[in-house]
Amino acid sequence: MSSDIKKFQVLLDLHKYEELLEWAYALLYISDEDQYLLYRYIIVAHLALKEYDKALEITQEALAHYPSSAFFCYLLSETHFALGAFVDAILAIKEALNIEPSTPTYLAHYAKLLFVQKKFIEAKEQIEKALELDATEASYHLMLARILYMLDAGKMCCEIVQSVLAKEPHNEEALDMQQEYCTATLKGKKQILQNILSLNPFDSFSQKDIRSIEHYHKYVPLAMAVFLLLHYLTQSAIIVSGAFEMVLFFVFMILGAVGSKEKLFNIPFIAVTLGINSYFKVGRDYLDVGDIFAILILSIIFHYFLFGLRVQFEHVVLEKIKKVFR
């Protein structure tokens, strides 16, 4: 390896992609000995800079010179994936695997493509092949965990995430999955997100998620308190229109679904709402300890019912909305 190629590796490690490209392009067509490696560095740098169209152009040029290169087929698949051309991405990675069927990086990438297309069984098969070849790579275990979660094996998913964090406590991907898949409370999620920010202070996604949690804890209880006051005043009125009661019911359902992210204040919210109803419809003189216990049990059941509705909405309706605006 020439001294120039060693320099390119240093520039790549330092994320100095523009400088790398300037030097690599200057040598690309005059250094036959190092041309293969120069193409590799150039394509990787363009991908890192999210210059996907240029990466596609150079990758296709590299494949014209080295048609039997599995690595260039893999980079072509990565480029097509970044451009949203999933069919072309799968064709390219299949070609890479035809040339080198036992390369775990290619198998893992193929699993990722299948996962994006919601072919979870096929994705699981591919990532398990990658793990048979390299069981030390944490990202492969986490890819398997994501697939298991989508196959309704949440417990196994979380066990894998915890095993990765036991070995790599600062693994950002594992921490992100822990707060997304394995932490029930928003307080717990916030703590994990703060840990991620301590590792990467410029992580805009974690910053946004923390702000969302803070807004949730600030405004949702306030909205619930306002609703309960309005509900009490409405029930205590002598005459209440059926239309207004129907509006209140829908508001209650919405608040209960939104509040289902935090059972510690959602269950009391539901219980107080039901209690107000019972107080005015049955009368306090007829309410006993058994009735209060029944209201509490019903509130817990209703909380988890609304929790299920919210999760279903997020996984089905919101996914369709994302596709429309994609």
Count of domains in the chain? 2
Same domain, 55 and 162: yes
CA atoms within 13 A on the CB side of 321: 6
What dihedral do alpha carbons 263, 266, 272, 278 form, nearest 10°?
-90
Judge contact between 73 and 53, C-beta under 8 A. Answer: no
Same domain, 172 and 237: no
Distance of CA 35 to CAs 24, 54, 133, 250, Å? 9, 17, 30, 66
- Between CA 263 and CA 254 the distance in angstroms is 15
49: CATH: 1.25.40.10
pLDDT at 2: 60
- Chosen domain end from 169, 188, 209: 209
pLDDT band at 164 (very low <50, low <70, confident <90, very high): very high
Same domain, 139 and 225: no
- Chosen domain end from 209, 234, 253: 209
Same domain, 45 and 156: yes
Residue 180 has pLDDT above 90, yes or no: no
Higher pLDDT, 167 or 247: 167
- Chosen domain end from 209, 226, 253: 209
Nearest CA-CA partner of 28 in 58, 50, 60: 58
**Mean pLDDT over each residue of the chain, to the nearest integer:** 87
Same domain, 100 and 227: no
Same domain, 57 and 166: yes
Nearest CA-CA partner of 205 in 220, 189, 187, 226: 189
Same domain, 279 and 161: no
Same domain, 292 and 189: no
Residue 224 tokens read as 């619930």
The top-scoring range by mean pLDDT among 5-9, 130-134, 167-171, 180-184 is 130-134
Higher pLDDT, 311 or 255: 255
Residue 244 tokens read as 């207004």
Nearest CA-CA partner of 298 in 278, 312, 281, 314: 278
Same domain, 44 and 127: yes
CA atoms within 13 A on the CB side of 210: 16
Residue 19 tokens read as 């400088």
What's the DSSP call for residue 67? T
Same domain, 204 and 233: no
DSSP string, 213-269: HHHHHHHHHHHHHHHHHHHHHHHHSS---HHHHHHHHHHHHHHHHHHTT-HHHHHHH
Domain span at 30:
3-209
pLDDT at 124: 96
Question: In which residue are the tokens 């992580």 written?
Answer: 203
Residue 125 has pLDDT above 70, yes or no: yes
Which amino acid does the sequence have at 245? E
- Between CA 107 and CA 1 the distance in angstroms is 28
Same domain, 191 and 132: yes
**Whole-number CA gyration radius for the chain:** 27
Nearest CA-CA partner of 260 in 230, 292, 232, 224: 224
- Between CA 267 and CA 256 the distance in angstroms is 9
Q: What is the pLDDT of residues 245-303, one digit of tens each?
A: 788 889 999 999 888 888 888 899 999 888 888 777 665 556 667 777 888 899 999 88
pLDDT at 322: 45
Which amino acid does the sequence have at 161? V
Work out the number of other CB atoms within 10 angstroms of the CB of residue 299. Answer: 21
Q: What is the pLDDT of residues 66-123, one digit of tens each?
A: 999 999 999 999 999 999 999 999 999 999 999 999 999 999 999 999 999 999 999 9
Same domain, 105 and 71: yes
